Amino acid sequence: MRYRELGRTGYRVSQLGFGAMRLPMVGEGEDARIDRDEAIPMIHRAFEAGLNYIDTAVGYCNQDSQRVVGEALKGWRDKIVLSTKNHEYEDEKTWWSHLENSLERLQVESIDVYNHHGINWERYTQHVEPHTSKWMLKARDQGLIKHICASFHDNNENLIKLVETGYPEVITLQYNMLDRQLEEGIALAHERGIGVVVMGPVAGGRLGVSSPVLKELIPGVERVPELAMRFVLANPNVSVALSGMSTMQQVDENLATAADETPFSEEEQEAILKHLTRLEAMADLYCTGCGYCLPCPQEVNIPHIFQKYNEARVYGLWEAASEAYKAWQWVSGKQADACIECGECEEKCPQHIPIREQLQEAHEALMQGHA
């Protein structure tokens, strides 16, 4: 296992972290719980291989993740950097209750890295700066948490603003081959001594499926997840990349990738970036995701539909894009078949995309799972 500095926290962390949000489950619906007989040995396998950073949250795995992580930490606590999150921003009593409950579930006296969960610039200016930060600082003074982190969900411009406040000691954010918009902010965070924890190195599973397009990037790298993880780890500004693992096989494969002492060469990195830039340009020819087409009178989520369609036809991720489109989970608005072809979107599109025609095309292709 290779290790990196987590900003100025003093922690030296494994470049692979365990994201405890996709642990194996048993049962269904509200009764679903983590399969401890599978999950805890998976976590211990990672610890034994030198992984020393684990991340969880209140709501992960039907609110069972923190308990299982706490059980897995027995006998390992002094060797592991523990990260969890608090999603409350407005009510102080609720915020402290979340912290106390997390400490109890995790069976620990303090949390090493404590995240503002789901932070963006608006939340920072309206809630964190005026009051929530004070609760964080008080908890740190009391020894209940050790380092303040922001689990960031916003654009690069606002990431730079957050970094420049000097407030967070660590930032958790999304970065992968399909989503590189935060690279400038990541570099600035590293320069300022802020630890950078990457979530979604395989793009929420989208890069965990077969893609003949992406397999062509580096000869000899057959598995797209390996390529995706190595791409993230090749960025020296990244401290740790979290992987949400649900099987022992995934644990072993990720550990092997993280233990690889042969990073991409400069030539390989240049080839990857050149190819990705070309693919991104192809995607931009169809839709840049600017959102000017919205709002749609029928609430069709046009940018999201085209994003999925681009992932399929440009990156070759047909299986993942099709499954995501059919499931339509955690997405606002409606699918493409809700379009009544009024044409309002086309009047507003700066790219002059024939949106009505492409929505129909996208719906048919994504439902079928192929072009």
Tens digit of pLDDT for each residue in 49-103? 999 999 999 989 999 999 999 999 999 999 999 999 999 999 999 999 999 999 9
For the chain, the farthest-separated pair of C-alpha atoms sits apart, in whole angstroms, at: 63
> Which region among 163-172, 182-191, 292-301 has the lowest average model confidence (pLDDT)?
292-301
Residue 331 confidence class, pLDDT cut points 50, 70, 90: confident
User: Tokens 């990705």 identify what position?
Assistant: 276
Top mean-pLDDT range of 50-54, 115-119, 151-155: 50-54
Residue 115, pLDDT score: 96
Terminal alpha carbon distance of the chain: 41
Tell me which amino acid residue 32 is: A
Q: Does the structure show a pLDDT above 90 at 9?
A: yes
Residue 313 has pLDDT above 80, yes or no: no
Q: State residue 270 phi and psi, 5-degree precision.
A: -65, -40
**What pLDDT was estimated at residue 278?**
65
Residue with tokens 């090749």: 234
Whether the per-residue pLDDT at 182 is higher than 80: the answer is yes
Rounded CA gap, 149 and 82, in Å?
Answer: 12
Give the pLDDT score at 328.
85
Task: Specify the pLDDT at position 146.
Answer: 98
Q: What is the model's pLDDT at position 285?
A: 53
CB 213 within 8 A of CB 188: no
- Cβ atoms of 11 and 81 closer than 8 Å: yes
- In the chain, CATH 3.20.20.100 covers 3-264
Gap between the Cα atoms of 156 and 141, Å rounded = 31
User: The domain at 3-264 falls in which architecture?
Assistant: Alpha-Beta Barrel (3.20)
pLDDT digits (tens, 9 = 90+) for 29-46: 888 999 999 999 999 999
Nearest to 180 by CA among 269, 59, 89, 300: 269
Query: For 180-194, 199-213, 280-294, 310-324, which range has the lowest pLDDT when averaged over its residues?
Result: 199-213
Q: From CA 102, how far away is CA 104, in angstroms rounded?
A: 5
> The pTM is what?
0.76
What is the rounded distance in angstroms from the CA atom of residue 277 to the CA atom of residue 282?
9
Residues 125-136 have a mean pLDDT of 96
